Amino acid sequence: MSEHDGTPDAAGRRPSLPARLFFFAFDLLAGRRTTLHKLCLLELLAAVPYRAWENRAYLRLSRRAGDPGARRRSQELIAWARAAQDNEYGHLLALQALIGEEKERRPWYGAGWVVRPAFASYRLLSWALARACLGCALRFNAEFEEHAERTYARFAADHPEWEGRPLPAELERERGAVGWAGLFRAIARDERDHRDHSLQFAGQARDKAPGKDRP
């Protein structure tokens, strides 16, 4: 049994058209080959929707403070969104550590003039989607996370040379993973967890009556 049981490609669903367009555009920008810098860009974007949902949920908390159900749902969303953001940030730090070890050169798409507009566009999209349809935003994120899960699982499999390569002590203590490939499998499991929670919250958003979802 591998450390990454449960992530076979065959288990995945076909992504929706918007998700496929997004992945296509991302590959167009950063290339089809997965590199550490490409994963960094992925992680920079990954935290963005969680921030949008957290802001939206805080707004909702203050506007509907008298509604215990809305309050509970918002608090749950905030707690999860915060934890997920921290987790994505941890992924980014790990990637930066390996980039430092590998001395992988920054590609053109890692420059600020590319990253900043990409980040701003995704932020705007996430904000608009969170306002217009939280369930849609969560389902789109589930597809993003599923894509990330597969990307990390494949990345670990593509780099057997990293199997036994030790992690920096702090990372090993934090993650309990053995070697860099093991860490990437652990990150893939985090992404799966993000996908599952996105779908779970999307279900809650759908279960509510129309109109009740708005702050």
Residues that bind Fe ion (CB under 5 A): 43, 46, 88, 91, 145, 191, 194
CB of residue 66 to Fe ion, shortest distance in Å: 34
Considering beta carbons, is residue 59 or 93 the nearer one to Fe ion? 93
Q: Distance of CA 98 to CAs 39, 183, 185, Å?
A: 11, 11, 15
Considering beta carbons, is residue 91 or 139 the nearer one to Fe ion? 91
The two three-digit tokens of residue 7, written as one number: 């992530």
CB of residue 68 to Fe ion, shortest distance in Å: 30
Rg of the chain over CA atoms, in angstroms? 18
Considering beta carbons, is residue 60 or 194 the nearer one to Fe ion? 194
- Contact status, residue 10 vs residue 189, Cβ threshold 8 Å: no
Instruction: List the one residue out of 186, 11, 43 whose CA is nearest residue 178.
Output: 186
CB of residue 145 to Fe ion, shortest distance in Å: 5
Structure-derived torsion over alpha carbons of residues 76, 81, 84, 85, reported in degrees to the nearest 10: -150
- Contact status, residue 88 vs residue 43, Cβ threshold 8 Å: yes
Considering beta carbons, is residue 70 or 78 the nearer one to Fe ion? 78
CB of residue 146 to Fe ion, shortest distance in Å: 10
